[in-house]
Copies of this chain bind each other. A is one copy, B any other.
Amino acid sequence: MTAPGVEPVNAVIDAGGAHLPGLLEQVEARLREIAADAGPPLGGWATATIAAGGKRLRPLLVLLAAGAPGDGGAGAVRAGTAVELVHAATLVHDDVLDAAALRRGAPTVWATAGREAATATGDYLFARAFSELAGNEDPRQAQVLSDASSALARGELLQRADAWNAAITMERYLERCDLKTARLFEAACVLGELNGVAPAAEPALGEFGRRIGLAFQLLDDVLDVSGPAERTGKHRGTDLLDGTVTLPLILAREADPALAALDPRTIATAGEAERVCDAIAATGALEAARSRALSLVADAKAELPADLPEAQRRALGLVADGVVDRYA
């Protein structure tokens, strides 16, 4: 676990999830094992990708949605591992397409070993995700993960189709966020439910996952404009330089004619991107975007199923809050 994720996990454990640290550690161990399994040279890049880590928010959601996990948690651990592998695979492929030198401040596989290595690493992690999940012997689960993976591919594509187009609509932006982020959060929750002690016949936590996933993406896009860079590991305005138009700019263009007239292609340097970030911030768009994300989180919590055990409700609520707190 890296720092930003630790607080919600600790709070969640305090809230009654004493079984969580052990299960999260099992997910970690399995991720390391699968990465190393590829053998040299692929294993090295897969290991670096997994080690670069992140918050393991998706496995945490799987474990929490499982409630009291059945089978000593083995099924939920496999599902959490599988979801994180799909997430990692997507990031490695994204770094190739973005020609991204750094992720979380560490050099990407693309930067250290080239696009061939990064493409193969992503394909490997992807394939292993599905074999890991196959261990749960439940075709519904493979279907859920596959649907989310297809959505990721479509979302990534939408982002590239819309690149440099400052005039994209809010609806289109939200569709992209749904596909590229929210659906995997949704899948994490559904997979968790399918691995509870009494597996859900009708998973009910998917919508919760989808909403906090959407909020997560919105806040991520706010953070790219607001900084600080020490927190994100990249310059402010990286999305602008990549031609990725996000909610802050969409909202700011309505308020500031100069921003509305701006062609993103003319933003050529980190300094210029910072100045555009300042102009966006001056319109109040960051607060508006943040507030939209906060109401998504509030809705997600409010609409948790009524029959959910109280400890599980509290734990999921804390994770939802954790998504917000990271960006406070």
Q: Name A residues whose Cβ lies closer than 8 Å to a Cβ of B.
A: 38-39, 41-42, 90, 93, 96-97, 114-117, 119-124, 126-128, 130-131, 133-137, 139-143, 145-147, 149-150, 152-154, 156-157, 160-161
Contacts and interface: CB of A to CB of B under 8 A. Distances in A.
24 contacts: A41-B157, A93-B123, A96-B119, A97-B116, A97-B119, A119-B156, A120-B156, A120-B160, A122-B123, A123-B149, A123-B153, A123-B156, A124-B153, A126-B149, A127-B153, A130-B130, A130-B142, A130-B146, A131-B143, A131-B150, A133-B142, A134-B143, A136-B139, A137-B139
Contacts of A150: 38, 124, 127-128, 131
B153 A131 contact: no
A142 B152 contact: no
Given A128-B150, A139-B136, A117 B157 contact: yes
Given A93-B119, A97-B115, A131 B157 contact: no
Contacts of A142: 130-131, 133-134, 142
Contacts of A147: 131
Contacts of A154: 38-39, 42, 120, 124
A156 B123 CA distance: 10
A128 B116 contact: no
Contacts of A122: 123
Contacts of A124: 149-150, 153-154
Nearest to A39: B154
A166 B224 CA distance: 46
Nearest to A149: B127
Nearest to A89: B123
Contacts of A120: 153-154, 156-157, 160
A233 to B, nearest CB: 23
Contacts of A134: 134, 139-143, 146
Contacts of A39: 154
Contacts of A127: 126, 145-146, 149-150, 153
A243 B70 CA distance: 52
B157 A128 contact: no
A130 to B, nearest CB: 4
Contact of A157 (B96, B116, B133, B161): B116
Nearest to A34: B150
A2 to B, nearest CB: 26
Contact of A139 (B38, B123, B135, B143): B135
A96 B39 CA distance: 24
